Structure 1
Amino acid sequence: MTALVLSLAAVGVILAFLGWIFPAGSVREIVVGSVMVACLFANAILLLAGDGVVGWREAWWNVLLLVSAVLAVAGGGPLTTSVLALVDRGNTRAQSTQKAGEVLRGGALIGCLERAAIFASVVAGWPEGLAIVLAIKGLARYPELRSPDQPASVTPQAVAERFIIGTFTSVLWSVACAGLLLSR
Structure 2
Amino acid sequence: MRNRFDGRALRALIATAACSVMLSGCGLIFQNHEKRADAVLQPTPGNATRGTITLIERADGVQVSYSLTDMPPNSDHALTVHERGDCISVNDPEASPVFALPPERRTASARSEGELGNIHADATGSATGFIVATDVSLDGVRSVISRAIVLHREALDPYASAPHNVGPALACGVIRR
TM over 0.5: no
Which TM class, normalised by the smaller chain length? Answer: under 0.3
Greater strand share, 1 or 2?
2
Please, what TM-score do these two structures have when normalized by structure 1?
Answer: 0.25
Greater helix share, 1 or 2?
1
| Bigger Rg over Cα | 2
